[in-house]
């Protein structure tokens, strides 16, 4: 293979340089995953600059409270356990509906006796009536004038 200047031999291209650097960092990364990593030349250089440090040993209370064995991993997509209890029967569901209806009636009575709530209900009804009236007026205006007889 010849280079542009006519010499034969290896070509130095940016792709080869990048591939070499990636291989170097991959090997350095694989070494860094060991439990007690030896100092690589890159790590030694970064330590000298002050970018990388060695982690301190954990305090005694941390070491004492850690479990002897690592915890089991929890699967991410595990089906949850069924909730405790039994399925309600139709009669029990009807009783629950009756209880809810009774509570609703009791709360309606309390709201009716509370003056601010009565005022708010009256204002909401007036606003709904005014909106309905405005809507019917808008329909009449859109239809145009009435024809002369």
12-63 per-position pLDDT tens digit: 678 788 778 777 776 655 544 444 556 788 888 888 888 888 888 999 999 8
Whether residue 96 lies inside any domain: the answer is: yes
pLDDT band per the 50, 70, 90 thresholds, residue 11: low
- Output DSSP code: residue 72: P
Helix (H) or strand (E) holding 3: none
The per-residue pLDDT for 85 is: 85
Residue at 69 is within a domain: no
Q: Which of 57, 27, 60 is nearest to 42 (CA)?
A: 27
Please write the tens of the pLDDT for every residue from 96-129. 999 999 999 999 898 888 888 888 888 999 999 9
Structural domain including 31 reads 14-57
Task: Write down the residue that tokens 């808008």 correspond to.
Answer: 138
Helices (H), the chain: 14-32, 41-49, 60-65, 90-113, 115-143
Residue 24 lies in a domain: yes
Is there a domain that residue 45 lies in?
A: yes
Q: Model pTM?
A: 0.29
Give the single-character DSSP code of 73: P
């Amino acid at each position: 293979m010849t280079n542009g200047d006519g010499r034969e031999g290896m070509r130095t291209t940016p792709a080869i340089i990048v591939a070499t650097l990636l291989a170097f960092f991959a090997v350095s990364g694989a070494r860094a995953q060991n439990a007690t990593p030896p100092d690589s030349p890159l790590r030694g250089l970064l330590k000298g600059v002050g970018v990388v440090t060695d982690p301190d040993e954990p305090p005694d209370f941390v070491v004492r409270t850690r479990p002897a064995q690592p915890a089991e991993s929890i699967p991410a997509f595990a089906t949850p356990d069924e909730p405790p209890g039994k399925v309600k029967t139709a009669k029990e569901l009807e009783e629950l509906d009756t209880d809810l209806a009774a509570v609703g009636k009791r709360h309606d009575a309390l709201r009716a006796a509370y003056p601010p709530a009565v005022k708010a209900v009256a204002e909401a009804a007036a606003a709904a009536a005014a909106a309905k009236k405005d809507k019917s007026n808008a329909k009449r205006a859109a239809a145009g004038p009435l024809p002369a007889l």
